């Protein structure tokens, strides 16, 4: 079996999925005003991008589903539109949209550009008052060499999006983990992050590496990705990456439900005891069983698996840990840069 692994090594002190944002020189922690949110937020008005709800309403009203991607396309191009402005819909569709849906349940609260223009942070306010972050990351695929020759391609933009408000995994190196878990996002709230970002940059790739554990919001995750794969977004499965701490049963299910996606695993330690120390949720997912699940996933999907490893000073960054990591992955044919 041929397997490909990618590695992401971060320096000590790096924080993944930041929940701190500087506004007017002050560091602000966004947790929705310390309110206690329900496990899954019930939206007052439905998101037009909640595909199952929209399609169910259309079917019950005997409205053709072929109008759905046309509505999405118009809203993406005209984010401030009124329903009456969308052309060529049946009258029943206009009435239904006005009574049960809104173009956006979330609002783009603020946009912060990095000094070098490489990243853009989007602070998005949800209907329940909570905030989530999405980050646009820009890069040029032509940088560096590929087989001794210049790399093909050109400028690309990747969007890092959130799947939950807060997170119950409790990883000690992650600011979001310190929030605790507030609530799951709906599939529409997940897709709306992509729509907001599209107003600022052409998005070619999506990574679920923002706030939350994506596989703990499995149904909404799958529904959102299916929208992204279809018209009008038309993202390739190979352009979407789901990052997880290693929710084993959901990894297996994801491969069956959405074959072809990229999978990223927050490993961060080569042995179980260290992993449990820095990632409390790892107690539920023994490392040996996780690695077995990853081998099955890769064999069935033929997709690369991206291994995430944050180097924490004096915790997982010693020479012995490098040897242990190599031993852990020796069953795989490793391709490194």
What pLDDT sits at residue 144?
62
What pLDDT sits at residue 123?
98
Q: Note whether 247 and 216 are within 8 A (CB).
A: yes
What pLDDT sits at residue 177?
81
Mean pLDDT of the chain: 86
> Cα separation of 79 and 57, whole Å?
22
The domain segmentation of the chain, as residue ranges, is: 46-102, 107-330
> Cα separation of 124 and 70, whole Å?
25
What pLDDT sits at residue 150?
66
- Ordered DSSP codes for 88-129: T--HHHHHHHHHHEES-SSEEEEEEE-TTSSEEEEEEE-TTS
> Cα separation of 32 and 303, whole Å?
37
Instruction: Work out the angle between the directed axes of helices 287-301 and 248-257 (0-180°, nearest 10).
Output: 10
Q: Give the 3-state secondary structure of residue 232.
A: coil
| pLDDT over 80 at 149, yes or no | no
In which band, very low, low, confident or very high, does the pLDDT at 179 lie, cut at 50, 70 and 90? confident
Q: Quick: pLDDT tens for 101-146.
A: 999 999 999 999 999 989 999 999 999 999 999 999 998 877 665 5
Q: Return the half-sphere exposure (C-beta side, CA atoms, 13 A cut-off) of residue 153.
A: 15
Q: Quick: pLDDT tens for 37-66.
A: 345 556 678 999 999 999 999 999 999 999
Nearest residue to 303 via CA among 239, 235, 250, 248: 239
| pLDDT over 90 at 31, yes or no | no
What percent of the chain has a predicted confidence (pLDDT) above 70?
Answer: 82
Q: Give the 3-state secondary structure of residue 37.
A: coil
pTM of the model: 0.85
Q: Quick: pLDDT tens for 268-319.
A: 999 999 999 999 999 999 999 999 999 998 888 887 789 999 999 999 999 9
Q: Quick: pLDDT tens for 223-237.
A: 999 999 999 999 999
What pLDDT sits at residue 298?
85
In which band, very low, low, confident or very high, does the pLDDT at 332 lie, cut at 50, 70 and 90? low
Mean pLDDT for the stretch of residues 87-105: 97
What pLDDT sits at residue 57?
98
In which band, very low, low, confident or very high, does the pLDDT at 176 lie, cut at 50, 70 and 90? confident
What pLDDT sits at residue 273?
97
| pLDDT over 80 at 9, yes or no | no
What pLDDT sits at residue 289?
96
What pLDDT sits at residue 142?
72
Phi, psi for residue 307 in degrees, rounded to 5? -100, 125
Q: Is the domain 107-330 a CATH 3.20.20.70 member?
A: yes
Long-range contacts for 62-68 (Cβ within 8 Å, ≥24 apart)? 62/92, 63/90, 63/92, 63/93, 63/96, 64/90, 67/93
What b/e sequence results for 12-33 when a residue is b if at least 16 CB atoms lie within 10 Å of its CB, and e otherwise? eeeebbebebeeeeeeeebbbe
What pLDDT sits at residue 14?
34
């Amino acid at each position: 079996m041929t397997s490909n692994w990618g590695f992401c090594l971060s320096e000590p002190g790096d924080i993944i999925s930041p929940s701190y944002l500087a506004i007017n020189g002050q560091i602000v922690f966004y947790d929705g005003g310390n309110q206690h949110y329900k496990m899954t937020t019930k939206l007052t008005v439905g998101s037009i991008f909640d595909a199952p709800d929209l399609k169910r309403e259309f079917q019950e009203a005997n409205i053709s589903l072929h109008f759905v991607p046309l509505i999405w396309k118009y809203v993406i191009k005209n984010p401030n539109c009124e329903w009456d402005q969308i052309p060529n819909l049946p009258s029943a569709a206009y009435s239904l949209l006005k009574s049960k849906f809104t173009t956006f349940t979330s609002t783009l609260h603020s946009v912060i550009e990095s000094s070098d223009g490489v990243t853009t942070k989007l602070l998005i306010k949800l209907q329940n008052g909570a905030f989530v972050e999405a980050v646009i990351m820009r890069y040029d695929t032509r940088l560096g060499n590929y087989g001794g020759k210049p790399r093909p391609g050109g400028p690309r933009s990747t969007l890092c999006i959130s799947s939950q408000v807060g997170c119950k995994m409790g990883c000690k190196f992650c600011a979001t983990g310190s929030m605790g878990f507030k609530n799951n996002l709906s599939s529409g709230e997940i897709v709306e992050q992509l729509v907001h970002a599209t107003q600022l940059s052409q998005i070619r790739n999506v990574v679920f590496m923002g706030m939350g554990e994506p596989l703990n919001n499995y149904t909404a995750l799958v529904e959102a990705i299916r929208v992204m794969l279809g018209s009008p977004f038309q993202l390739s499965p190979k352009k979407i990456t789901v990052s997880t701490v290693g929710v084993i049963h959901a990894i297996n299910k994801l491969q069956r439900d959405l074959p072809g996606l990229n999978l990223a695993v927050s490993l961060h330690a080569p042995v179980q005891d260290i992993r449990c120390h820095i990632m409390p949720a790892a107690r539920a997912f023994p490392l040996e069983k996780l690695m077995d699940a990853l081998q099955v996933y890769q064999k069935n999907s033929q997709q690369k698996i991206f291994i995430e490893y944050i180097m924490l000073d004096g915790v997982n960054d010693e020479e012995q840990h490098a040897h242990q990591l190599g031993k852990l992955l020796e069953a795989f044919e490793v391709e490194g840069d």
